[in-house]
Structure 1
Amino acid sequence: MQSRFANSRYSLIGYVLLIALAYFLVTRTLLVVMAFPEADLSIIAFIKTYFLGLIYDLAFYSYALIPVTLYLLLVPERIWQTRLNRGFVRLAIFATLYGLGFILAAELLFWDEFSVRFNFISVDYLVYRREVTDNIRESYPLPLYLGVIFVVTLFVYWLSRAKVKLALSVREPFRQRLAYAAGLLLLPLLSFLLVNQDLRELSTNSYQNELASNGPYQFIAAFKNNELDYYKFYKTLPDSKAASLLQKEISDGREAAPSFDIRRHIDNPGSERHLNIFLVMVESLSADFLGTFGNADHLTPNLDRLADQSMLFTRLYATGTRTTRGLEAVTLSIPPTPGRSIVKRVGHETNLWSLGNVLKQKGYDVEFIYGGRGYFENMNTFFAGNGYGIIDQSSTPDEEMRFTNAWGMADDDLYTQAIKAADTAYQANKPFFFHLMTTTNHRPYTYPDDRIDIPSGSGRPGAVKYTDWAIGDMIDKAKRKPWFKDTLFVIIADHTSGSAGKVALPVSKYHIPLLIYSPAHVAAQKVNTLSSQIDVAPTLLALLNMDYDSAFFGKNILAMQPEEERALIGNYQKLGLYAENRLSILSPKQRMTKQVNPDAPDPVETEVVATDADIERDIAYYQGASYIFSQHLNAWKYN
């Protein structure tokens, strides 16, 4: 049988399989080396990682061979023997080998950036090719990498040329080809039935789970699972109970009702103040970049100085790991629903209860001001549909952008546009709310020369220091404006610079800064309340003493009682609630776990039941968020 297979066209599948497994093995081994200190690989874990990895490798290959199997089956003998077919097959094999080399390099670079296999981020990168292609071109010596892959591919193909030649020369009747094809096409069916994402959950150490995966397989899985039905995949409570718990969480002493309709009237004491809001959301600004939070590299002298003069929130956490999650949380005050963020759910992302809509109703000039092109990540559609005007790179004259890179204009050019818009609003006698989103603190980490003492493009520290310089420069320029005195400058991150850790939701990797600077209106102080990005909108409105109707999940941080403190954090599938040094996690397949002291070197994780009070609190937030969004109960309605 072996000799018979060797004299079959289908031997090509076997040869390429061996090469592909070699590439996958090399990839996994290099990633093990890169992640070795964090992966905690014992001998048993090491064996499990490679064994499960092989299963995923074979599963991906079984799917990939479907079109190849059909081609080898259906091409008649008279065409198989032609020069055209032989040339096509050789080219296809060379392209496949080159693709394997490209995937190997891409996985290493992706891991270096995110410490995970391909996931939703890689899918997004495929969708937004212009920004991503420019970013890769500016970040890496692309011609060198592609050239090395080409040379290696030539060598591998040269080693396999005799086997390819033999397979191209065989004559094989259709009945024999059909027998092979029938057997091979059973493999993807078996993979579909037996292999899923659950297999890779071999450990509580997330690095081990990622190493046991296959990058291309994960890429396809990310396409399939970009949105998850909460009720189908997660543990639920009866809607009436979950609703009552959620109402209790968000209410201000009102009786908890068994309804998910959380719309209510917020009465903030004091006379309403129509102060301007200049909200700067900084790309990837982890709290631990700031000297205020213990960093000794002196990267943020301006932010550290502002922190001393501001209302500084020391225990605020991002809801997710992507820009769109931060935008969603601050704008809509909603927990992260499983799957992709609301910003990117085309057709369902507009006409929602947003901070912009509330302030627009109050007579504010409301603008989303972005350093890049706002079609990226569907941001323009999201903000335009929720009460905001749009200012972005595409609407900014070229001569007013002195420096741009793959992601957009430099931060100081962005602030120039925002200050110009503030001048226009002031002249029109309108208060303004501007939500800015920066781009510089992102690979390729390039910025204008002569701003700081770290060369452009040299890495994250330089980008952080330039980001800090640009904020300081913006504040200095704003101080010379007549609207400065009556403006709240709000500085917050969208997410941290990295969320990888030994556990699925490493709490410390979600810690971000929030400071509110307004010398004439906000006293310098530290607020140590545990809180979330979803609490930013209610807190800002409370600082303005504004009464308003609300469908927000968040609360005024300044009025929170100790028992109300919590942070909501998640990734694409795991949904967490952090409170009282405990992290409760909901996972697909209705799994529930709790970590005690999640910041410990080896946090203790235990399976829990739904009657656990922390888990029920966790379920109430996320079940409620999914229900409310799906039933449009947070749709903007103003009478």
Structure 2
Amino acid sequence: MTNKLKWLARYIGFWLVCFAVFRTTFLLFHFDGKSSVIEVLLGNIHALPLDISTACYAAALLLIIRFIIGFTSAKNSFNKIAQGYTALLLGIVALLNLIDINLYHVWQSKLNRLALSYAKYPDEIVASSGNGYSIGAIVLVICIYTALLYMYKKLFINHAIIVDKYSGYIVAFLISVTFVIVGIRGGLQKLPIDKSWAYYSNNNSLNNTSLNSAWNAIQLITVTDLDTNTYRYMPQAISDSVYSALHNDVGNTNEFKNIINAPKPNVLLLFWESCGADIIAPLGGEKNVAPKFTELCKEGILFTNFYSTGFRTDQGLVATLSGFPAQPLTRIIEEHSKFDKLPNLITSFKNNGYSANYYYGGRSTFANTSTYLKSAGIDKIVDEKQFEGLKRTLWGVYDSYLFDYLLKNMSTDKQPFFNIVATITSHEDFDADVTKHFTKGSESENGYRNTMHYTDSCIYNFIQRAKKTTWYANTIIVIVADHGHSLPLNRGFDEVALHHIPCLIIGGALSKNDKGKTNDNYGSHVALASTLLHQLKIDSKDYVYSKNLMNNTQTHFAYYAYDDGFGYVSAQEQSVFSHLQNKLIHTTHPQDSSTTLLRNKALLQKIMYDYTQLSAKIK
């Protein structure tokens, strides 16, 4: 009996050592220096329950095989079987940790359902990861795998299955199985272990360090019901009432500032890839990265408190066109049965006599974008197929070629038009071959600044040339970032400042009295639908999450999603809620934390409730 129990204890102990080594490796790549040594070391304690659970998963099948072999004459074959099984499993664990090391570099999260939904686009994943960074991680993980496998062979080389009495052998097996089952579920408590057990700090990098990569992957595989609202904190009626109190504060819907000097202007919606407020001088950012945008601000209305609803391009696109907020771990653009039930600016404009066209220098099928646009009735999609042979990054052609094409072809687009253009050169990994104006920071920081500087000049040059066209005088142009970025200040994805982005309305159809002005109302991508449609006297009632930023009688705010969390921003406060920790990890008004926590939970629950109900909705 003791022989079998010792084997199980030693095998689980081996895996605990493996997980500790991989945890240290992850920390080596991603420690941000913001926490004390004690807080870092505490991660090992908080990691232990998930580590034990994962080790028990690893031991379960081998335990059964070992038990069966004990009744046969092939007892000596167990070592070879166990070695092959462990080598395979260790390889999978090493691969998962390698994926997480590289994924966190880009997304500041380990593998989740949102990231997994991009697995069908391997070229784009490689383009985002950073070759030098990936190679270093690959080499190190291979070395670790080799060393751990060698350690296993040394630990178990002389192990033999000894059966003195079958009764004792069976009892030992039953005890072992009981321990493994209890270990997998994390104890005898009512609810089994979950991801939140590893979360203990306000520092997201430490929480992700203590999260076992293999256990996290097991959860992704086994939990597949996307139409169950996992963000349920209270009766839905309470969530609805909190939401209504915020969103039904419509003020006087007819009392808003009209900034358009034309009855039916063309509208150009320009998404600037990865541009955060940290490099926009009029928003308090660095002064020399986007100097041309600063010049353009003198010709338009700058929204000073505008926030990204998510952190991926498709989230910003859907939030802008459909007025629906981003979700923490799901991507509505991948679910036709859901996004088909949402309103869309393309449809709204086309129903009012506009043509609608999309211009992009990359692959329009990426992230299901073309399907989403076609579902709304887009007339024309221009993508990388029109730019073959031109200079490009892994993501698409350089923005200068895109704007050349746009300027040439917009004159032939049926007017009035609603055109959407998305830049691409400033996409991570920021390795485009552009002029190196910035060289003093790290390679990634310099790459970010230099590609932003390049796209800044492309946008400015396009607008200067557009002013000479016949259509410009009857056009408004909305320049907005698709999302912010952690660079150049290496911000966390949960930080409010990371989601602060530029939004500027300019153009020949903009009222002269409004040029060079600012709008300080708080909003996000979601607000653009109501804001634009009110200006053009088009019905916006279907965009229930959207508020008119030009209406000063309303209460304005913005909220954003990140990895299993939610942020809220208004003129009165800022707060960030972590679902896994079930608490506010940041608030500017700690004295009101209970009220703030209730509101943030209610809003997140409402958004996800509406998300889950979309599939059943009749269009």
TM-score, normalised to structure 2's length? 0.82
Which residue identity lines up with residue 429 of structure 2 in the other structure? Answer: P
Find the residue that maps to 2:269 and give its secondary structure. strand
Instruction: Note the 1:308-327 alignment, pairs <5 A.
Output: 308-327=298-317
Tell me if the contact between 1:333 and 1:533 (Cα under 8 Å) persists in the aligned partners: yes
Secondary structure, aligned partner of 2:359? strand
Whether 2:501 is the aligned partner of 1:507: answer no
What displacement does 1:348 show?
1.4
Structure 2 match to 1:374:
364
Identify the match of residue 129 of structure 1 among 119, 122, 129.
122
- CA displacement at 1:620 relative to structure 2: 6.8
**Residues 306-328 of structure 1, C-alpha deviation per residue, up to 9 Å, x if partnerless?**
12222111111112223232122
Write the letter of the residue equivalent to 1:248: N
Alignment of 1:542-621 (within 5 A): 542-546=534-538, 550-561=542-553, 564-583=555-574, 588=579, 596-597=587-588, 604=590, 607-608=593-594, 612=595
> In the superposition, relative to structure 1, how do residues 62 and 474 fare at CA in structure 2: closer, same or farther (>3 Å)?
farther
Are residues 379 and 226 of structure 1, via their aligned partners in 2, closer, same or farther at CA, if it must alter by over 3 Å? farther
Q: Which residue of 1 aligns with 2:318?
A: 328
Which of 149, 153, 158 is 2:145 aligned to?
Answer: 153
Unaligned runs of 5+ in 2: none
Structure 1 residues 96-154: Cα deviation after superposition (integer angstroms, max 9, x where no partner): 44444444444444344344444345423434333213544x63365565344434433
Distance 2:616 2:262 in 1: 24
For 1:27-426, what aligned pairs fall within 5 Å after superposition? 27=25, 29-30=27-28, 34-37=31-34, 39=35, 41=36, 43=38, 45-46=39-40, 48-74=42-68, 77=72, 81=76, 89-136=82-129, 139-140=131-132, 142=134, 145-167=137-159, 170=161, 175=169, 178-179=173-174, 180-181=176-177, 183-190=179-186, 193-221=191-219, 224=223, 227=226, 229-230=228-229, 233-235=232-234, 236-238=236-238, 241-242=241-242, 244-245=244-245, 248-250=248-250, 252=252, 273-296=263-286, 298-337=288-327, 339-389=329-379, 391=381, 393=383, 395-399=385-389, 401-405=390-394, 407-425=395-413
Q: Which sits farther off after the overlay, 521-530 or 471-480?
A: 471-480
Report the equivalent of 1:262. none
Aligned-pair CA distance for 1:52: 0.7
Taking the aligned partners of 1:242 and 1:144, their CA distance within structure 2 comes to 49
Q: Secondary structure at the match of 1:62?
A: helix
8 Å CA contact 2:529–2:546 kept in 1: the answer is yes
For residue 432 of structure 1, what is the amino acid of its counterpart? F
Q: Give 1:395 deviation, angstroms.
A: 4.0
Inter-partner Cα distance in structure 2 for 1:503 and 1:476: 36
Describe the superposition over 1:15-56 as per-residue Cα deviations: whole angstroms up to 9, x where unpaired. 641441332442365367x2232x3x374x455432111222
Question: Quick check: 1:594–1:607 contact (8 Å CA) kept in 2?
Answer: no
- Contact 1:205/1:504, CA 8 A, preserved across alignment: no
User: Would you say 1:517 and 2:506 are equivalent positions?
Assistant: yes
Partner of 1:483 in structure 2?
Answer: 471
Q: After superposition, give the CA deviation of every residue in 1:241-267 in whole Å (9 maximum; x if it has no partner).
A: 45753562246469xxxxxxxxxxx99
Q: Identity over aligned residues, as a percent?
A: 20
Residue type of the alignment partner of 1:518: G
Contact 2:47 2:211 in 1 (8 A): yes
Distance 1:571 1:150, change over 3 A: closer
Cα distance in 1, alignment partners of residues 258 and 300 from structure 2: 22
Report Cα offsets for 1:329-361 as digits up to 9, x if no partner: 211113345541322334212142111111011
Closer/same/farther in 2, CA of residues 124 and 240 from structure 1, 3 Å limit: closer
- What displacement does 1:526 show? 1.4
Aligned equivalents of 2:299 and 2:258: distance in 1?
A: 25
Residues 205, 148 of structure 1: CA spacing in aligned structure 2 closer, same or farther, 3 A cutoff? closer
Distance of aligned partners of 1:617 and 1:109 in 2 relative to their CA distance in 1, 3 Å threshold: closer
Q: Which amino acid aligns with 1:294?
A: G
Q: Does the residue aligned with 1:60 lie in a helix, a strand or coil?
A: helix
Q: Give the whole-Å Cα distance in 2 for the aligned partners of 1:269 and 1:29.
A: 51
TM-score (normalizing by structure 1): 0.80
What is the RMSD computed on CA atoms of the aligned residues? 4.1
- Give the letter aligned to residue 299 of structure 2: Q
| CA–CA distance in structure 1, aligned partners of residues 185 and 363 of structure 2 | 42
Report if aligned partners of 1:5, 1:11 keep a CA contact under 8 Å in 2. yes
User: Relative to structure 1, is the Cα distance of residues 107 and 505 closer, same or farther in structure 2, using a 3 angstrom cutoff?
Assistant: closer
Q: For structure 1, which runs of at least 5 residues remain unmatched after alignment? A: 255-265, 598-602
More displaced stretch, 497-506 vs 281-290: 497-506
Contact 1:372/1:392, CA 8 A, preserved across alignment: no
CA distance in 2, matches of 1:491, 1:128: 27
Question: C-alpha separation between the residues in 1 aligned to 2:115 and 2:566?
Answer: 21
Q: Deviations over 1:280-322 (max 9, x none)?
A: 1122211111222333461112212212222111111112223
Offset from partner CA, 1:441-481 (integer Å, 9 cap, x none): 232213245x5646998632222222223222332443343
| Contact 2:306 2:523 (C-alpha < 8 Å) held by counterparts | yes
Distance in 1 (CA, whole Å) between partners of 2:257 and 2:352 is 15
Q: Is contact 1:332-1:552 (8 Å) kept?
A: no
Question: One-letter code of the match for 1:52?
Answer: H
CA contact (8 A) 2:491 2:498 kept: no
Q: Is the 8 A contact 2:576 2:587 kept in 1?
A: no
Distance 2:447 2:163 in 1: 57
Whole-Å separation in 1 of the counterparts to 2:471 and 2:147: 66
Q: What's the secondary structure of 2:325's corresponding residue?
A: coil
Contact 2:472–2:508 (CA under 8 A) maintained in structure 1 = no
Distance (whole Å) between structure 2 residues aligned to residue 72 and residue 346 of structure 1: 47
Residue type at the aligned position of 1:440: T
Letter in 1 for 2:183: L
Q: Is the 2:196–2:581 Cα contact (8 Å) retained in structure 1?
A: no
**Residues 65, 465 of structure 1: CA spacing in aligned structure 2 closer, same or farther, 3 A cutoff?**
farther
**Count of residue pairs the alignment pairs up:** 600
**Does structure 2 conserve the Cα–Cα contact (< 8 Å) formed by 1:352 and 1:634?**
no
Q: 1:158 to 1:465 in 2, by over 3 A?
A: same
